[in-house]
Structure 1
């Protein structure tokens, strides 16, 4: 898997989860949890980016 594909896959899955949870639980609850755990979310994204460095870079 290419490095860029791994990052795009993470972003697509993340946004899909946000939309799905927004539809299921309601906008207020989802926005509250996103604002509470934004630092954790940024750390997860950082470590996903570090993990993607193991894959070859596309030319």
Structure 2
């Protein structure tokens, strides 16, 4: 798997899960949890980026 694909896959899964949880649980609850745990989302994205460095770069 290429680096760029891994990053795109993470972004697509994150956005789709936010929309799905928004539909299931309601907008207020999802926005409240996203704003509470934004630092955790940033750390997860950072570590996903570090993990993606193991994959070869596309030419």
Q: Same fold (TM over 0.5)?
A: yes
Alignment partners' CA distance in 1, 2:21 and 2:49 = 24
CA RMSD, 1 decimal: 0.2
- Deviation of 1:23 (Å): 0.1
Please give the TM-score of this superposition, normalised by the length of structure 1: 0.99
- Deviation of 1:7 (Å): 0.1
Q: Does 1:39 align with 2:48?
A: no
Structure-2 residue corresponding to 1:15: 15
Question: Which aligned runs of 4 or more in structure 1 are off by greater than 4 angstroms?
Answer: none
Any stretches of 5+ residues in structure 1 without a counterpart? none
Any stretches of 5+ residues in structure 2 without a counterpart? none
- Deviation of 1:11 (Å): 0.1
Please give the TM-score of this superposition, normalised by the length of structure 2: 0.99
Alignment partners' CA distance in 1, 2:40 and 2:21 = 18
3-state SS in 1 of match to 2:30: helix
3-state SS in 2 of match to 1:58: coil
